[in-house]
Structure 1
Amino acid sequence: MELPRTDGAAPSFDPELSRALAALGDATREPLTPGNLAAQQERDAAIRPRPTAHELRADGLFEVTELRVPGRDVTLLSARPAGVTGPLPLLYYMHGGGMVMGNAASVMPQLLREWALPLKLAVISVEYGLAPRAQYPVPVEDCYAGLVRAAEHAAELGIDADRIVIGGKSAGGGLAAALALLTRDRGGPAPIGQLLLCPMLDDRGSTFSSHQMAGIDVWDRTSNTTAWQAALGDRFGAADLPPYAAPARATDLSGLPPAYIDVGSAETFRDEDVAYADAIWRAGGQAELHVWPGACHGFDSFAPAAALSRDAREARTRWLRRVLARPGSEET
């Protein structure tokens, strides 16, 4: 297959993000490879925060519980603002990490601070299986089983099963997109929105941006290929790969909940994410797309104080507020 031409310069990074990357050092740019995957996973497990349920309760500010999904090795970390009565809408969230790293607890402090308190919603973060130990379809089936568990036990969890938004970042965004497809096709719990933050959607690595940002983005095509190979095993590159494994493979995006999709102009996933929004529109669906200028992958995580990061968080919150205000549809 002829590769896309990438003549000319790649988009430059936003100045604040460039300074933040420089402060983090060269380790930030080290690509993930089959040779260093195990070592990178060990390092991530050692340094990535994993707050306890006690710490997440924040001196009584939140109610936090851990739930098990019967028949699967899946933990759901559930939290809600303390003292708020009545069933709350739910953000059902999948963490990032390329499907090979990350944990459910590490993302909870930000989710609770930014959305659970101001929007008065409950949050469930899913501890799904990581590759290569857990390969497709295990991670997405873990997420689906957890969603079914949450919906079936909505009353005891204090959540409104008719007001569930599924979401995630990077690999978690890809899993959220896959979950939207899977629950549509199985007739499972029907989310009212999908929050897809720089989602990892396409295993093929054939887009212009994946070549343009090779060796430049903090998550480039080398890291991306390594992660997809770990996640798919022998099915990597298969012509008949199901869309639940890589949502960019989907040929039918009709009947999906409204989507929020954001991505940086200077990141590997730019073109596949823009194409996914376009495919939703072509299928008659709703998608709000933001392409943040000069943003690399995960920019708001390592430069949270940057103006671009603040703008991105505000846009996501506005979308969530609209979706939650009118279950089943977005305000226009």
Structure 2
Amino acid sequence: MPIEMVDPELRDALAQFPDIDFTQIPLDLVRSQPMMPPLEAPFPQPVERTIPGIDGNPDVKVFIVDPTPGATNRPAVLHIHGGGYVFGSAEGMIAGVQAAAMAAGIVFVSVEYRLAPETTFAGSVADNYAALVWLAGEGGKELGVDPARIAVAGESAGGGHSAMLAITARDRGGPAIAFQLLTYPMIDDRTGSSRAVAAHLGEFVWKADHNKFGWSALLGAEPGGDSLPQGAVVPARVEDLTGLPPAWIGCGGLDLFIEENLAYASRLIAAGVPTEVHVVPGAYHGFDGFAAASGAGQRFSAARTAALKRGLGVAD
């Protein structure tokens, strides 16, 4: 794909992202790369907690980022980090959570879920669901959270996990989720495997072979097949989307996920789920992180924050 299709102000930032070949580079090496340290004050500082697991699963570590400590009867965001289901961490990506919490004035709780392939979907979904149960229950009481105003949010694989969690909570009759904030969510295992995308999509940052690797690790099976492993929740493959929380879906126009994101948004709307879509022309996967200071990155972040505040009934 010619670089000319990329928004000019987003081109230089592409040099920040290495071209990872998961067949050649050990996953442990990818995971060991340094992440951004926490932002210093005046940004709210993260507080680490360990909460109970569910259904025999181990306890789960979470990080609480609270810009308004001591407030009561307030909304909260359960944040799930990205990383293709196979790398990344809540701790290593906490700076973005700090910035988001401060911009919105809302307490965020970020989940340190178990990664694939060591733990497949059942383990990571259990970790995220445990965090939701905790935030809607005892943890929320401690933090002064209104259990009727909890959003789930995440980027890339974190957006995929957020969508999975909303479906899981609906199907289990679990805690109600008020809003889904899905940033270029990874929601269809068929993308790049059994389903090709337009030739100019997914040429930068997160590519079709990366996607196939991530989904294979999460599912513990070849992605894109006619059927899924028992119990797996792949949002794009879920037939009934009725009763899910209102959603905001944001994505770059050159992102590998743009087609699956638009298709999912269309199906949510058809199912009666209020859904807002924000597409940034000329933007690739993760552009808002690599080029956060760009006009495109700032406008995208502002739109996302505004959508979250609307979704949780927070006045400007």
TM-score for the superposition, normalised by structure 2: 0.89
CA distance in 2 between partners of 1:82 and 1:65 (Å): 17
| 1:109 positional shift | 2.4
- Give a deviation string over 1:168-203, Cα, whole Å, max 9, x none: 000000000010100011111111100000000111
Q: 1:244 to 1:277 in 2, by over 3 A?
A: farther
The structure whose residues are more often helix, as a share, is: 1
Secondary structure in structure 1 of the residue aligned to 2:171: helix
User: Which runs of 5 or more structure 1 residues have no equivalent in the other structure?
Assistant: 1-7, 328-332
- 1:88 correspondence with 2:88: no
Q: 1:210 to 1:178 in 2, by over 3 A?
A: farther
CA distance in 2 between partners of 1:287 and 1:88 (Å): 23
| 1:84 positional shift | 3.9
Q: 1:34 to 1:73 in 2, by over 3 A?
A: farther
| 1:218 positional shift | 1.0
Structure 1 vs Structure 2 CA RMSD: 2.5
Of the three residues 271, 281, 304, the one matched with 2:269 is: 281
Q: Which amino acid aligns with 1:176?
A: S
| 1:9 positional shift | 7.0
Greater mean alpha carbon deviation, residues 231-240 or residues 101-110: 231-240
CA distance in 2 between partners of 1:199 and 1:91 (Å): 16
| 1:285 positional shift | 1.2
2:114: which partner in 1?
Answer: 129
CA distance in 1 between partners of 2:198 and 2:188 (Å): 10
Of the three residues 25, 31, 36, the one matched with 2:20 is: 31
CA distance in 1 between partners of 2:293 and 2:301 (Å): 11
- Give a deviation string over 1:11-47, Cα, whole Å, max 9, x none: 811111112214x3xxx25133234242xx4243231
| 1:281 positional shift | 0.8
CA distance in 1 between partners of 2:284 and 2:174 (Å): 35
CA distance in 2 between partners of 1:284 and 1:325 (Å): 20
| 1:65 positional shift | 3.7
User: Contact 2:248–2:275 at 8 Å: present in 1 too?
Assistant: yes
2:9: which partner in 1?
Answer: 16
| 1:119 positional shift | 3.2
Q: 1:66 to 1:251 in 2, by over 3 A?
A: same
- 1:219 correspondence with 2:183: no
User: Which runs of 5 or more structure 2 residues have no equivalent in the other structure?
Assistant: none
Q: Which amino acid aligns with 2:73?
A: P
Secondary structure in structure 1 of the residue aligned to 2:298: helix
1:166: which partner in 2?
Answer: 152
User: Contact 2:116–2:217 at 8 Å: present in 1 too?
Assistant: yes
User: Contact 2:125–2:165 at 8 Å: present in 1 too?
Assistant: yes
Matches for 1:299-314 after TM superposition, within 5 Å: 299-314=287-302
- 1:151 correspondence with 2:151: no
Q: 1:19 to 1:88 in 2, by over 3 A?
A: same
- Give a deviation string over 1:201-229, Cα, whole Å, max 9, x none: 11112445365435x22101011111111
Sequence identity of aligned pairs in percent? 37
TM-score for the superposition, normalised by structure 1: 0.85
- Give a deviation string over 1:35-78, Cα, whole Å, max 9, x none: 4242xx42432312354xxx77x479457241222442421112
1:203: which partner in 2?
Answer: 189
Q: 1:69 to 1:310 in 2, by over 3 A?
A: same
CA distance in 1 between partners of 2:133 and 2:286 (Å): 29
2:124: which partner in 1?
Answer: 139
- 1:192 correspondence with 2:178: yes
1:109: which partner in 2?
Answer: 95
Q: Which amino acid aligns with 2:248?
A: Y
